[in-house]
Structure 1
Amino acid sequence: MGIEITGLLGLIWLIIVIWAIVKVAKSPAGALPKLLWILILLFFPLIGLIIWFLLGPKG
């Protein structure tokens, strides 16, 4: 039972990170800020996602 729950949570986490990367890529920001946000989200998924939710694009 624990493996299924862990797998499901991992899948949900992956979907959230991919959603954040897509939102960054579609934002009107310049190329360098987009690249930096995407790299932060890829290399530091937990911290990067929290920072992106707090400081990222609004609306």
Structure 2
Amino acid sequence: MGIEVGGLLGLIWLIIVIWAIVKVAKSSAGGLAKLLWILVLLFFPLLGLIIWFLLGPKG
């Protein structure tokens, strides 16, 4: 049962990170800011997502 739960949580996590990247790409921020946010989300998924939720675009 542990593998199934881990796989499901990993899939949910992947969907959340992809959603955040899409939100960044659609935001009105400048090109460099978008690139930096996407790189942070890709290279530091947990920390990047937390920082993006706290400091990222609102609304």
TM-score, normalised to structure 2's length?
0.99
Structure 1 unaligned regions, length at least 5: none
* Match of residue 53 from structure 1: 53
Q: In 1, Cα distance between the equivalents of 2:36 and 2:2?
A: 35
1:35 Cα offset (Å): 0.1
* Match of residue 10 from structure 1: 10
Q: How many residue pairs are counted as aligned between the two chains?
A: 59
RMSD value, Cα: 0.2
What's the % identity of the aligned pairs?
88
TM-score, normalised to structure 1's length?
0.99
Where has structure 1 moved over 4 Å in runs of 4 or more? none
